[in-house]
Structure 1
Amino acid sequence: MGSHAAAGRRRRRPVVFGALGATLLGVLFCVPSAGGAPVSADACRTAGSALPVGDCGPFWQVLAEDFDGDRVPLGAFSDCDHHADTSAAYCGGLDGSYRDNWWAYPTGWPDTAGDRGRDVVGVYHPEDTVSVGPAADGDGRMRIRMWRPADGGPVHASAVVPRAVMQMKYGKYSARVKVTEPAPGYKSAWLHYGGGCEMDHPEGEWTGPLTAFHHPCGGGEQGAYPGAGSWTDWHTVSTEWTPGHVRFFVDGREVGHDTRGVPDRPLSWVLQNESALEGPGAAPGSSARLEITWVAAYAYGWK
């Protein structure tokens, strides 16, 4: 349900694992522990607040970013129109590991609202919406602060892309997120998109609940899956995409599962944040902020 473009190719190292049997079944579905308490249905048990590190089940970790010790000021996510939408894409204003690992939709690209006839639309501006730095307690975070100019111009939107998983087929994608400053008119649609296929999680207006959507390849009724809780609380969100299956998790609880028209082609993971597609538009002079304390991603493979 977002503004999308096809990304370039990038070969990924395959995962090699042995027979999974009952072990994999136990982590893919919510089962009771020996003491009777529920165990996370997430394959990596990523229900808590800590960044998961290491491989799990059929997934090989290729990205573990906690943003600790790093500072990326406003302005650094600039000059991003280099090899756009390919695995060679980069932002000229970044350096070091952030230049290697992150890209953003370039300044001037329109967001989804422009195609929906909305009165208030957005334009991507990573240079004045994205930064990285510590919170008051020292926890490193990526901050997405979208805003609308006081003169009533377009919303300054932001879509950031982890380069390690651009154009990767299948995988697991997790993050811990919270909207720390909500306002009407702002939303997210973190997605995989391409070739008539789309998986969105999490998605929704920042003043409402978390939701996931699956738009089957080739058409058909979308799957819509309400999440657990609101954007204004901390949540761990995960998408697990395997052959013939897509599963959505919030805090370790499976909130959606679809087998219809699941993508079987490489797609990029886009952390897309933009102007709202429903309800009131962002007011002139308003702003809203999302914080991300960690991001983790995994490749999927087999013998």
Structure 2
Amino acid sequence: MPPINPLTAKLPVGDLPGWKQVFREDFNAGDVPIGAFPGPAYEANWSAGYKDGIPDTAGQTGKNSRYYPTKVLSVKNGMLDWFLHTEKGISMGAAPTPKIPNNSSNPHRANSLLYGRISVRFKGDALPGFKTAWLLWPDSGVWPRDGEIDYPEGDLATSFYGAVHHRSNNPHESDLIRSYALFTTWHVATMEWSPGKVEFFLDGVSLGAGTSKVPNTPMHYILQTESCLPVCPAPTTTGHVYLDWIAIWTKG
């Protein structure tokens, strides 16, 4: 794919060679205040994801970090906005999910794919202790056996990377593809998941690919934004992550 200027990149519309577009969103249907996402404007295509109070990844290990979409998510100025902050000692994130048309018979897997291409234009404030892990997670829920794919992933105060967690019984077995790019300027991150290969692109340029024990069962996509891995944010750490647009293709 050709290089992309992330400062001016528009939502891609239409199929690509080998890929059939099944979802796109540029949040131009109007603003939604915090506490109301997805609301009538976006509910056909979006879920707010995990409900208020559900422990995030670190919260499952005892840290005081939780998903709170009603206190985090809004749509403003044509962007999905995560307001990341701490209230009453709880650091708050959210994990919205697009509803991707697919052939799954499971109503809880309305965002499921078996191989696909996902492209997002995003940026975030430098917020130590908060992170993104926008990921494909196995429909089976069996991890690490069925693997995991993350991109962009990383603490918001550092650079982000792509990760292909292998189909393995070892949770530490993965391919990491680093970007060395910061969250604080606009970027277009694209991952292409094909049989035996996951390739990561930054602003249209390939960063590399994982080819070992690549996930090969249906997975669902979650824009997981959370905290406390490994260190929790300071109580005064407050800021935003912005998603300008997202486009998704299946193998065609």
Task: Tell me which interval the TM-score lies in, with the shorter structure as reference length.
Answer: 0.7 to 0.9
Distance 1:163 1:262 in 2: 24
Q: Counterparts in 2 of 1:181-192, with a 5 A limit?
A: 181-192=125-136
Unaligned runs of 5+ in 2: 102-110
Distance 1:193 1:264 in 2: 11
- Aligned partner letter, 1:217: R
The 3 A distance-change label for structure 1 pair 163 and 99 is same
Alignment correspondent of 1:175? 120
CA displacement, residues 214-247 of structure 1 (integer Å, 9 cap, x when unaligned): 1111245311111141011110001101111111
Which of 1 and 2 has greater Rg? 1
Alignment correspondent of 1:64? 24
Alignment correspondent of 1:284? 235
Residue in structure 2 matching 1:156, options 67, 92, 106: 92
Per-residue deviation at 1:281? 1.8
Q: How many residues align?
A: 233
Q: Counterparts in 2 of 1:190-205, with a 5 A limit?
A: 190-194=134-138, 195=142, 196=144, 197-205=147-155
CA contact (8 A) 1:228 1:250 kept: no
CA contact (8 A) 1:61 1:297 kept: yes
Per-residue deviation at 1:173? 0.5
- Aligned partner letter, 1:133: K
Per-residue deviation at 1:198? 0.6
Per-residue deviation at 1:116? 4.1
Alignment correspondent of 1:111? 56
1:232 aligns with 2:175: no
- Aligned-residue CA RMSD in angstroms? 1.9
Unaligned runs of 5+ in 1: 1-26, 28-38, 78-90, 135-139
Structure 1's consecutive aligned runs of 4 or more residues displaced over 6 angstroms after TM superposition are: none
Distance 1:53 1:228 in 2: 28
Per-residue deviation at 1:70? 1.4
SS at match of 2:133: strand
1:146 aligns with 2:94: no
Alignment correspondent of 1:130? 73
Would you tell me which structure has more strand in proportion to its own residues?
A: 2
The 3 A distance-change label for structure 1 pair 228 and 51 is farther
Distance 1:233 1:46 in 2: 12
